[in-house]
């Protein structure tokens, strides 16, 4: 246990001599600012889900059929929400939490509604999903499409789970904040693939205690598109970008880890259209996009830096989730970026992720933006994007 992270002393109830009558028989709440008890992991129940790096070689991915199950979902999500006890949005742009749902026992109609809701809201959170074992999580993921096998990251110790990505930081692991710029950590998963993932689930099986750090943040690429001026939107709609796995593969080699599938570089549109919502979104992330095709490097670098800033610093695009054990986040990797938050050492953080391959990204000029569609539906005022005016910011 690290210095300063000791279990707080236990206090008895106040005695009459300690306080005056109003506080009699009240227990003291044990609280030390910024300090949490470190959990012991002897006889750890998830040994089979700890990480390993199998030294094997996989063939290149080939195109697989994909039908988005969200297209079958009820636009009002009535099948899914019939079992819910509570549902609420984190903010208007992204993030919804649902209570009362058991992800391990959904009907097909509920799964279709879930896909449609995730496509609409970007990321949906579920608390206390004890029944969602890794086998149930894989089964649910496979309902949405062919499960993706990651070429470099760790998989569980248990054989046969090579399509599961393990997120594991042990008690003695090095905090990696110094290794990356904050904007670089924002990413969507494996966008260098020909068919990058859609519906992605992450379950935390062991994590820091409440207040111990390790939160995850998501950023809406629907909303990032809406944050751009109409002139920038139009410009980016005409362009593609290169998404490369080379840096990720090289990082694995330098650590002495195997690269199970050859690194690829794939060209994708910078703006894509979602097959379920019909909304346009930015399709960009700092971790894998290396350049914009067909324009000078100086121009490309400037635009990439600008898009980094939009994703990382526009607060209304963001949702932040504080995990508890057995919580699940289910997001649409096509329209969300996400980032880890550090500063949770010396606590263990252990999670398992399952995702499926989706369609090849496409841009449909007939699509709408999220902001346009919702404004028409609900009579919302048009957003002013003219930054040349004078304003008295007075919060």
d(CA 312, CA 53): 31
Q: Is 353 a catalytic residue?
A: yes
CA distance linking residue 170 with residue 237, whole number of Å: 43
Of 236, 148, 221, which is closest to residue 190 (Cα–Cα)? 148
Out of 68, 112, 113, 189, the active site residue is 189
Q: Any catalytic annotation for residue 189?
A: yes
- From the candidates 116, 148, 150, 187, give the one annotated as an active-site residue: 187
Contacts of 393 (CB under 8 A, 6+ apart): none
Alpha carbon distance 373, 174 (integer Å) = 45
CA-wise closest residue to 133 among 47, 216, 203, 42: 203
Coil, strand or helix at 242: strand
d(CA 243, CA 22): 65
Question: What element of type H or E holds 86?
Answer: strand 86-89
187 is catalytic: yes
Could you give the CA distance from residue 89 to residue 96 in angstroms, rounded to a whole number? 4
Task: Count other C-beta atoms under 10 Å from residue 31's C-beta.
Answer: 8
Pairing between β-strand 216-220 and β-strand 240-244 as defined by DSSP bridges = unpaired
The residue annotated as part of the active site, out of 338, 347, 349, 350, is 338
Q: Is 338 a catalytic residue?
A: yes
Q: How far apart are CA 79 and CA 150, in angstroms?
A: 33
* Residue positions annotated with a catalytic role: 187, 189, 338, 353
């Amino acid at each position: 246990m690290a210095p300063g992270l000791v279990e707080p002393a236990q206090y008895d109830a106040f005695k009459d001599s300690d306080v005056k009558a109003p506080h009699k028989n009240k227990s003291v709440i044990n609280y030390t600012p910024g300090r949490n008890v470190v959990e012991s992991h002897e006889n750890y129940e998830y040994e089979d889900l700890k990480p390993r790096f199998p030294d094997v070689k996989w063939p290149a991915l080939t195109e697989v059929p994909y039908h988005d199950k969200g297209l079958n979902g009820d636009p009002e999500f009535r099948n899914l929400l019939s079992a819910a006890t509570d549902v609420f949005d984190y903010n208007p742009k992204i993030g919804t939490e649902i209570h009362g749902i058991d992800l391990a026992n959904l009907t097909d109609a509920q799964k279709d509604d879930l896909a449609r809701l995730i496509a609409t809201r970007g990321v949906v959170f579920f608390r206390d999903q004890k029944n969602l074992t890794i086998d149930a999580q894989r089964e649910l993921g496979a309902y949405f499409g062919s499960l993706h096998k990651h070429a470099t990251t760790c998989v569980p110790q248990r054989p046969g789970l090579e399509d599961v990505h393990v997120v594991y930081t042990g008690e003695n692991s090095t905090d990696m904040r110094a290794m990356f710029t904050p904007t670089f950590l924002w990413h969507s998963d494996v966008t260098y693939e020909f068919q990058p993932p859609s519906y992605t689930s992450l379950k935390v099986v062991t994590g820091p205690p409440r207040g111990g750090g390790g939160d995850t943040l998501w950023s809406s690429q629907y909303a990032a598109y809406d944050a751009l001026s109409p002139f920038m939107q139009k410009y980016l709609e005409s362009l593609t970008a290169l998404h490369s796995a080379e840096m990720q593969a090289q990082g694995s080699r330098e650590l002495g880890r195997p690269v199970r599938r050859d690194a690829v570089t794939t060209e994708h549109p910078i703006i894509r259209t979602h097959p379920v919502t019909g909304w346009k979104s930015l399709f960009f992330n700092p971790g894998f996009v290396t350049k914009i095709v067909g324009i000078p490097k100086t121009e490309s670098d400037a635009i990439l830096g600008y898009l980094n800033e939009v994703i990382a610093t526009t607060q209304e695009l963001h949702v932040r989730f504080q995990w508890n054990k057995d919580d699940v986040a289910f997001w649409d990797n096509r329209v969300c970026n996400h980032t880890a938050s550090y500063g949770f050492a010396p606590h263990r953080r252990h999670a398992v992720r399952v995702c499926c391959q989706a369609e090849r990204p496409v841009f449909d000029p007939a699509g709408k933006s999220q902001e346009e569609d919702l404004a028409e539906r609900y009579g919302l005022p048009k957003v002013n994007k003219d930054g040349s005016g004078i304003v008295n910011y007075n919060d």
